[in-house]
Amino acid sequence: MLKALPVLMYHHISPSPGLVTLAPAIFRQQVEAMARSGWKSVTTQELEAFFRGQPLPDKCVLITFDDGYLDNFVYAHPVLAEFGFTATLFIVSGWIGEGPARQGLQDCPDHRECKTRIAAGRADEVMLRWSEIEAMQAAGTFEFHSHTHSHTRWDKSLPAGAARAEALARDLEQTRQTLRTRLGHCSTHLCWPQGYFEPDYLEIAQTLGFRHLYTTRPDLNLPNSAPLHIGRLVTKEKTGRWIRNRLSIYATPWLGQLYNRLKGHS
C-alpha cells in the first residue's frame, strides 16, 4: 500500500520556453514514463480518502496544474486523454473567459507574456474559457478547483489586520460563488497563489468551507494527517526517468524526508 502520496505541480505545457513551462514533447514523455512504469493518477476524492486513512495502492500520484492557461487545453489535455490520466486544475476563476472552445493549435506565449496580457485586460487570449473547461471535465482529463478569484498576494497588497483578512475572505467567497455558478459546485480544495499563506489564512479558508489546502513546498503527504499543508513537487524540463525517480523518492517517507533535509526543504 502507498505510504506517501506524491503530488506533482505543473503550470504551462507550451512550445514557448521559459519560467514554469514544459515543452509538449517533454510532458508527453513524463506522462508516458509514469504510465509505462505502472503509476496511476488519482482524483481529489481519492486524495481525501487517503488523508482519512483509507489505503491506496502503490504508485499513485495526484497531478496538478495551476492558474488555468489555454495551453493546458491545447497541449496537456490530449496527452492525458491518450494515457488515461486525470489531473487537477486550480483555476483563477476571475481570469476565465466566455466564448466557444477553440480548435487546433493556438498562440500559447510564455509565462511572462501571459502575465502581461492578463494585466492588460487580455486574459482571454491566454487563459481557458468556461466552454473549454466543460469539455475537459466531460472528457475526464481534468477536474477543477479554486486558485482564488483574483490570484492576489494579499500580504503584498495590504498590511496584516482586519482589512487584509476581509479582502481574502471576499476573494475566496467570490471564487466559491463563481465555481458554483459555472460548474455547479465548489469543492473543499484550494491552492494558494504562489503557495503563500499566513496562519490566519487557514482559519479564513476553513470558515468558508475549504478543507484541503495546497502549497508549493515539497512536503510529504502521509495518511491520517491534516490536509492543510498539502505538499507538491515542482516539475522540470527533464526526462521521464527523472519524473519516475522523483515520484519514487516522495512515495517513500524516509527517503523523501532525507532528500528534503539534503535539499534544505525541512
Tens digit of pLDDT per residue, the chain (266 long)?
Answer: 999 999 999 999 999 999 999 999 999 999 999 999 999 999 999 999 999 999 999 999 999 999 999 999 999 999 999 999 999 999 999 999 999 999 999 999 999 999 999 999 999 999 999 999 999 999 999 999 999 999 999 999 999 999 999 999 999 999 999 999 999 999 999 999 999 999 999 999 999 999 999 999 999 999 988 899 999 999 999 999 999 999 999 999 999 999 999 988 86
User: Would you state the pLDDT for residue 14?
Assistant: 97
User: Would you state the pLDDT for residue 266?
Assistant: 64
User: Would you state the pLDDT for residue 225?
Assistant: 87
What residues have CB less than 8 Å from 43, skipping those under 6 apart?
86, 88, 143
Q: Is 49 exposed, middle or buried (0-12, 13-18, 19+ CB in 10 A)?
A: middle
**CATH architecture, domain 7-263:** Alpha-Beta Barrel (3.20)
Alpha-carbon span 60 to 3, nearest angstrom: 10
Alpha-carbon span 195 to 9, nearest angstrom: 11
Alpha-carbon span 180 to 60, nearest angstrom: 29
Residue 164 phi, psi dihedral angles, 5° rounding = -65, -45
Domain regions of the chain by residue span = 7-263
- 3-state SS assignment for residue 127: strand
User: Would you state the pLDDT for residue 161?
Assistant: 96
Cell numbers 475566496 correspond to: 172
